[in-house]
Structure 1
Amino acid sequence: MSVDSRPFTMTWNEVCARRLERHALSAPSTDMRPADIVTAMAGTHAQVLSAAELGIAQRIEGATRVDVREALWNDRTLVKTYGPRGTVHLLPARDLGMWVGALSAVPYSAPSSPDLRMTAEQTEEVIAAIGDALAGAELTIDELSEQVIARTGPWAADPVLPAFQGMWPRWRQAHHIAGIRGVMCFGPNRGRKVTYTNPRRWLPGLSPMEPETALAELVRCYLHAYGPATPQRFAHWLNAPVSWAVDLFASMGDRLEKVEVEGAQAWVTAGDTAVPSGPPEGVRLLPYFDTYAYRVGNHPAELLYPGRASERVLRGNFQVLLVDGVVAGLWHQRRSGRRLTVTVEPLRPLSPAHHRELDAQVGRVGEILQAHPELTIGEVTVGGHA
């Protein structure tokens, strides 16, 4: 790492402006495609796919949710799979080898209870069975379960994992690991049922990148989207051990550069210290989980969530009103046919210019979701992720 005793300095406003620009939130991109946007975001959280569609389309001038669906299911430039923190993400198909190589090398904790655990050999057996079962098919979870148990043994069927309305079979604890290893991803829904398939059906040349190279590239990707950052923040983003992240950053030597933000030390990729010439500006309505990714990657929380936002928004998964790079409120939408009611609750006074931008943003949300929006300023009464 850089040993310069006088690191490059950035203000919080410069960091905000830099992140807005890199996330295509300062202004929608005129030349990026959905896969480019997902790369710029270091992956897009997709636990609720409609939220991911909105978040990606917002960042591309004139795009709608249809463009994101085309990229995912027809062009295959996006893959829906398990990404950082073992959660559902959209990832660029062209970078899947890097993600698989890097995430497969991240340490994870096995279940603490001996009654739940699988041995390392059993885990590998399940992952191989999943990849084999999906090699030429799109299967629902029940169909996949039958195939995995048939390929492994009755031990895989033991109902030991607490689930929403019962118990899941033992093999399910390796479900997301199979996604991280690159032998499973999501397929198109079959009616209301989720399906899974092997990404090699669509990406026959898929090959995991060598772990050391992949991890270095993942750090670079993360720092481009969220830097300046620290190993501790990177570990939080991945849900990985802090000590492991510290060692990883140290192993990259002079490929990383130390900077100082408001008196605190952080890191960027070496030479990547450019900041926009102007201050962070703009009103944006961030959807579910887009907010979560922005929060996980952006710190410190007291600057990103100033004033009432720290009490009202920080602890829940709300859709947020972003004003000039910081959280200034929350919002919710309710759809009835083609009508879309958008309720925005500002947590600070908005200027007339901000109100005009908010009107435009609500109109843009309606365009993306192919609905007729109506804006109401008032309290959001639903809880997070409702």
Structure 2
Amino acid sequence: MTPLRTDIPDRLARTPPAARRHGGAVKALTWAQVVARRLERHGLAAPATDLPAAVSAMCGAHAQVMSAAEASIGVRVAGATRLDVRRALWAERTLVKTRGPRGTVHLLATADLPMWTGALGALPSPPYATGANALMTPAQVDRVVAAVGAALADAELTSEELTAEVVARCGPWAGERVMEAFQDRWPRWMQAMEVATRRGAMCFGPNRGRQTTYTSPARWLPGFQAAPPDQALSTLVRHYLHGYGPATPAHFAKWLAIGQRTAQELFAAAGLEEVTVDGAPAWVVAGDTDMPAGRPRGVRLLPYFDAYAIGCHPRDKVFPGRAGERALNRGQAGNFAVLLVDGTVAGIWHQRRSGKRIAVTVEAFGTLSPARLKALGEQVERLGEILEATPTLTLGEVTVGGHA
């Protein structure tokens, strides 16, 4: 595996990647054009028809809260409900539940697994598992990853069952309860779970009652093999820019939770083209500079941790004015469900479910025109269809805090 360089020379870090690759005039774009393009590519201007392709285009749906993932996908796919998402995940296996960008749980398109594992497996170990925090040596981590892969090759195991298998293969040290977690202590080997997921040794299986299970990604994608790291990382950069570009290495670094110098190096290797957005430099995949003709339009309700809110930058333009104060948590997006008006955050919302009913409260940061109020009502109805519930809408202050 080719290691990522973090000692990029200052000259390389300062020089825009596209300026080193492309000559000629730099295309000037407006912020409105960029927003219209992102809405179109996310299925938020007009819904998509292919569910796995929609998930691929958004670079995965955050799935720490499954109902939020179902809503994120449903709002982008015409007629899709949470049952369609579950069918794609557990029956058709065109989606897979695993760890994606930032090490967080995502639903990813199964067809993208070689890219994701090749890219994420090449990244440095997460900070909580390195240096003074490390509970295992690199060699022990490798042993755990191999043991996990062998145990899950043709099985769906709970954490307790997987712990027994890893201890049997690695020795008692792997099961020592020394990892601090949620006011408890987990077995030592669990510090390597994220690395094992990144390298393609494990993913989530279907729940067994209330218990989470784990299994092998090869059961989703027969013949599965991680793509070569350099190829996978360049593909991931281009994949990200297709949905979230134009963007900068700093934006990509924040999205993937990597160092900015590493992001600079990856941009430099990916074959990109420089553009400007309202005069500021940014990058797209070489040749991918076409923009929609119309202005961004539409009202959408995006749930907690929606990919558009988390991945789109600059923050001050996506979350302007009051939105930056009310819909961000110390600059971090995703903790609040947001009202999107013409591609810009214009409010927050919250839902409370009771049986087959959901009460939706929307706090808009400005006055909504009659046309937008009508569109908001339609979005609430659509949310009810996705989550298979009867919705009601209340306009007013959201008093519930951000999701942890």
Alignment TM-score > 0.5, same fold: yes
Please state if 1:14 is matched with 2:14.
no
Q: What SS class does the counterpart of residue 99 from structure 1 fall into? A: helix
2:298: which partner in 1?
282
1:145 aligned residue: 163
**Aligned positions, number:** 380
Would the aligned equivalents of 1:116 and 1:161 in 2 still touch at CA under 8 Å? no
Q: Alignment partner of 1:17: what SS?
A: helix
Report the secondary structure of 1:4's partner residue. Answer: coil
Instruction: Name 2:287's counterpart in structure 1.
Output: 271
Look up the match of 2:229.
211
User: Structure 1 stretches (4+) deviating beyond 4 angstroms?
Assistant: none
Offset, 1:5: 5.4
d(CA) in 1 for partners of 2:252, 2:170: 36
The aligned residue for residue 23 of structure 1 is: 42
After superposition, the C-alpha distances for 1:244-301 in whole angstroms (9 at most, x for unaligned) are: 111121123xx210000112111000010111111111100001111xx323321111
Aligned pair partner of 1:93 in 95, 104, 110: 110
Specify the code of the residue in structure 1 equivalent to 2:62. H
1:349 to 367, 370, 380: 367
SS of alignment partner, residue 348 of structure 2: strand
Give the match for residue 402 of structure 2: 384
Secondary structure at 1:384 match in 2: coil
Q: What SS is found at the alignment partner of 1:296?
A: helix
Contact map agreement 2:125 2:195 (CA 8 A) in 1: no
Instruction: Report the AA paired with residue 315 of structure 2.
Output: A
Structure 2: how far apart are the matches of 1:257 and 1:122? 42
Runs of 5+ consecutive residues of structure 2 not aligned to the other structure: 1-17
- Deviation track 1:74-114 (CA, whole Å, cap 9, x = no partner) reads 00001100111111111111121111111111223443553
Select which of 56, 72, 87 maps to 1:39. Answer: 56
Residue in structure 1 matched with residue 93 of structure 2 by the alignment: 76
Looking at structure 2, the residues matched to 359 and 220 of structure 1 have their Cα atoms a distance apart, in angstroms, of: 36
**Structure-2 separation of matches of 1:381 and 1:338:** 23
Deviations 1:318-359 (A, max 9, x none): 100000100000011111111111110101111111000000
TM-superposed CA distance for 1:4, in Å, is 3.0
* Cα distance between partner residues in 2 of 1:60 and 1:14: 23
Partner of 2:65: 48
Residues 271 and 115 of structure 1, relative CA distance in 2, 3 Å threshold: closer
Cα pair distance change 1:182/1:115, threshold 3 Å? closer
The partner residue of 2:141 within 106, 115, 123 is 123
Cα distance in 1 for partners of 2:303, 2:289 equals 29
Deviation at 1:27, TM superposition (A): 1.5
Give the one of 303, 312, 316 matched to 2:317. Answer: 303
| Residues 109, 70 of structure 1: alpha-carbon distance in 2 compared, 3 angstrom cutoff | closer
For 1:302 and 1:183, the matched residues in 2 are separated by: 39
The aligned amino acid for 1:28 is P
Matches of 1:295 and 1:117, distance apart in 2: 35
Unaligned runs of 5+ in 1: none
Residue type of the partner of 2:281?
A: Q
TM-score (norm 2): 0.91
Residue aligned with 1:114, SS:
helix
Corresponding residue number in structure 2 for 1:189? 207
**1:312 lines up with 2:326 in the alignment:** yes
Matched, 1:246 2:264: yes
- What is the distance in 2 between the residues matched to 1:108 and 1:263? 37
- State how far apart, in whole Å, the 2-side matches of 1:113 and 1:210 are: 27
Structure 1 length as normaliser, TM-score? 0.95
Indicate the residue corresponding to 1:369 in structure 2.
387
Q: What is the distance in 2 between the residues matched to 1:382 and 1:184?
A: 35
- Determine the C-alpha separation between the residues in 1 that align with 2:225 and 2:304: 32
Which SS does the other structure have where 1:353 is aligned?
A: helix
Q: Which moved more, 1:307-316 or 1:269-278?
A: 307-316
% identical aligned pairs: 59
